[in-house]
Amino acid sequence: MEAFLLHGPKDLRPATLPRPRPAPGEVLVRVRRAGICGSDIHYYQHGRIGRFVPLRPLVLGHEFAGEVAELGEGAPAGLLGRRVAVDPSIPCGSCAHCREGRYNLCSNMRFFGSASCDPHLDGGFGQFVTVPAANCHPLPDHLGWAEAAMVEPLSVALHAIERAGGVSGRSVLITGGGTIGLLIALAARAFGARHVALADPLPFARAQALAVGADLAFDPTDPSADQGEGCEIAFEAAGAASALGLALATVRRGGTIVQVGTLPAEVALPLNDIMARELRLLGSFRFANVFATALALLARGQIAPGALVSAAYPLARLPEAMSRAAGRDGVTKIQIDL
């Protein structure tokens, strides 16, 4: 099969790899569409993301959907030929976090397209992937490949909203108008947020925010910009220290900040201010127990993220697609069409 391997920063190389064979309980998925995530961009630009450093060449890509082309022993016969979205999380199921239902914190998590586990698990920027049958979620016929590859990032957004305790009737600020920030805006509007504001320095991102239903979009670097009246919940989805600072400064007393973006290694926090204003600062890592919900919301049209897909490139042009996605201005989500 054809795939691309990450060898280091800005070093993606085409490779012909053996077509994998599904083990018992697994299926072989022929990838049809795969999205480029912010973490893929981090790997591409820096050769790593946070403490996750590839130990060997790696096939990236964890937002993918495709067709079941082969069954391993014991896999449900009804999956053969089915169109599926793939949940990229493979938790151990037995550690304390898994037993508590917080499997995204699994001590032994295996995750497609990530160096967070060793051996690494190759992802969707290749023609075939072997996947546990339980991770395959059948798609309704009317849902296209572009939307199917958005189930995973939408799951990240839904998990962040759950971490906040819900948004119905509440005012929300989102810092960062990338895919996750915009999906949080879409979901917050769908779940009844009273007011949704988004901050991003890029005009294109602000225009996208208004197009998906935000009440306000402003440039956080412009001191004269209307920033609204403050918020009860802030989602930091930019992965920037300045964005977290804005969230902390904007949220009302007793409010909640949910950290979704990956920040630089060290960020100073105004802990006395957090104490005196009784703020809650929560982390939101990947997702748990929401993948099926995300797919159902897309299938019913309650959340429609198709407009966020800016372009689809063939696999052979993955390095070009990655560079364009990293540039951000003028694009939101870039996908690979296999």
> Is residue 291, in this structure, part of any structural domain at all?
no
Does residue 265 register a pLDDT over 80?
no
Q: Tokens representing 131?
A: 């996947």
Positive or negative torsion for Cα 148, 295, 290, 283: positive
Q: Which DSSP helix (H) or strand (E) runs through 101?
A: none
Q: Tokens representing 86?
A: 């793939």
Which among 82, 84, 135, 144 is positioned nearest to 298, based on CA atoms? 144
Q: What is the mean pLDDT of residues 60-68?
A: 98
For residues 62 and 34, what is the distance between their CA atoms, to the nearest angstrom? Answer: 7
Same domain, 140 and 16: yes
Return the CATH number at 101.
3.90.180.10
Return the CATH number at 264.
3.40.50.720
Same domain, 233 and 174: yes
pLDDT one-digit tens code per residue, 184-199: 999 999 999 999 999 9
State the amino acid at position 156 in one-letter form: V
For residues 270 and 211, what is the distance between their CA atoms, to the nearest angstrom? Answer: 34
Percent residues over pLDDT 70 in the chain? 100
CB 324 within 8 A of CB 311: yes
What's residue 299's pLDDT? 96
In sequence order, what are the residues at sequence separation of 6 or more whose Cβ sits closer than 8 angstroms to the Cβ of residue 48? 42, 54, 115
Same domain, 112 and 220: no
Does residue 49 register a pLDDT over 90?
no
Location of structure tokens 């988004």: 198
Same domain, 209 and 252: yes
What's residue 314's pLDDT? 98
What's residue 336's pLDDT? 98
> Is residue 56, in this structure, part of any structural domain at all?
yes
In this prediction, residue 183 has a pLDDT band, given cuts at 50, 70 and 90, of very high
In sequence order, what are the residues at sequence separation of 6 or more whose Cβ sits closer than 8 angstroms to the Cβ of residue 222? none
State the amino acid at position 121 in one-letter form: L
Q: What is the mean pLDDT of residues 214-224?
A: 96
> Is residue 28, in this structure, part of any structural domain at all?
yes
Does residue 332 register a pLDDT over 90?
yes
> Is residue 298, in this structure, part of any structural domain at all?
no
